[in-house]
Amino acid sequence: MALAWVLEDARDDRAERARPKTRRPEPGLRPSEASDPAEGAHRQFSVLVTDDHPGMRSTLRDILQAEGYRIVEAEDGQVALGLLQTQVFDVLILDLAMPRADGVSLLRQIDVPPPMVIVCSAFSHYSPDGVRDEFGMKVFHYMRKPVPPSDLIVAVNEAVAELDR
């Protein structure tokens, strides 16, 4: 599957509107950590992108890195679970249908938030309503593939803003 997204399209005004209205943060920073010369270094938000398609992972990585997020990739739910047990992530972008360990089994094994979970799936094996019924508040946002870059940025920015509340 080839994805031909232009990163410049990812920076439209919808992404800007999704950022918190108070002290606008630099991309990848919590609203309370907005740049101030008197402050020290800021923590960069981390996103775990879990998808079995390397092209999809790299596309999501490129889009979110351009926004200032630190990205770690996992090719299935088993790898993602190992990473979640050893590292702290602010946002988890999760495909549901993957070989070995899928996103549904991963969701059953983790307590959230954090990370804020964004399900980004084709929903060919699972229905959005069925996943909502099973996981309810565990999932912050549902997105159907292919996801427009601007929608992805909006969802991740909203998840980060929610963590700061």
Residue 89 lies in a domain: yes
Mean per-residue pLDDT, 92-121: 88
Task: Round to whole Å and give the CA distance between 68 and 5.
Answer: 18
Q: What token pair was written down for 66? A: 């351009």
Check which CATH number belongs to the domain holding 146 and give it: 3.40.50.2300
Residue 147 lies in a domain: yes
Task: Round to whole Å and give the CA distance between 123 and 131.
Answer: 10
Residue 29 lies in a domain: no
Residue 110 lies in a domain: yes
pTM of this prediction exceeds 0.85: no
pLDDT digits (tens, 9 = 90+) for 26-57: 444 433 344 433 343 456 899 999 999 999 99
Domain ranges, residue 152:
43-163
Amino acid at 45: F
Task: Round to whole Å and give the CA distance between 30 and 33.
Answer: 5
Q: CB count, 10 Å around CB of 105?
A: 15
Number of structural domains the chain divides into: 1
